[in-house]
Amino acid sequence: MLDLSRIKAIGLDLDDTLWPIWPVITRAEAQMLEFLQPRAPGAAAVFADPVRRQAVRAQVVRDNPDLSHNMSVLRLESIRSALRDNGEDVALAEAAFDVFFECRMQVRLYDDALPALARLAARYPIVAVSNGNADIHRVGIGRHFAANMSAHVFGVGKPDVRIFHAAARAAGVAPHEVLHVGDDPELEVLGGLGAGMQTVWVNRGGHA
């Protein structure tokens, strides 16, 4: 049972909480492929194949375990690796990533997301707490947030208690005064509870 009297701030996940992420990623990857195909067909073939794409990403993570929380750098380094392995121009990596990232910001919010944000922001400071790389200002919802705590900037991601505690500090409250809201039972619910917060599971998929 939630203790509403304790709540002085909201921690809020982004991907799959405010918008479905995989349609966004699918569109962004298609745009990146369209960019790469005439310029670097070898690398494009890698990213067109889910198995090869995952193998490249896994190798980048093995080579750079300290970057496992940074989705942007992992993708950029994966593009560089595919270009390098195919003898193609590594300088194309930044431009290909920019194409991906621009499309990645073009999210389609769930119908209830903006009304809920407006209601919550009128009453509490809201801090975005995300393991992803969405930019709340480029997405167009930044005005509703007091702060943005992302794993790639902070240095660790959920469910590490440190990012939850940093979010509480950004809101100017103690962890036990935060209600953290998100879609992932482990990352959001157990992570938030472990940090001393109350939590709400947003079950968009109707999972048991």
Its pTM stands at: 0.92
Task: Supply the CATH classification number for the domain 4-19+109-201.
Answer: 3.40.50.1000
Domain-by-domain residue ranges, the chain?
4-19+109-201, 22-104
CA dihedral 153, 159, 160, 165 (to 10 degrees): 80
**What b/e string do you get for 160-175 counting C-beta neighbours within 10 Å, with b at 16 or more?**
bbebbbbbbebbebeb
Distance of CA 119 to the CA centre of its chain: 23
Specify the pLDDT at position 66. Answer: 86
Pick out the chain residues at pLDDT < 70: 207-208
CATH 1.10.3720.10 at 22-104, yes or no: no
| pLDDT digits 0-9 by tens, 57-97 | 999 999 998 888 899 999 999 999 999 999 999 999 999 99
Specify the pLDDT at position 103. Answer: 98
Kindly give the residue spans of alpha helices, DSSP state H, lying in the chain: 21-36, 41-48, 50-63, 71-85, 92-104, 113-121, 136-139, 151-154, 161-171, 191-194
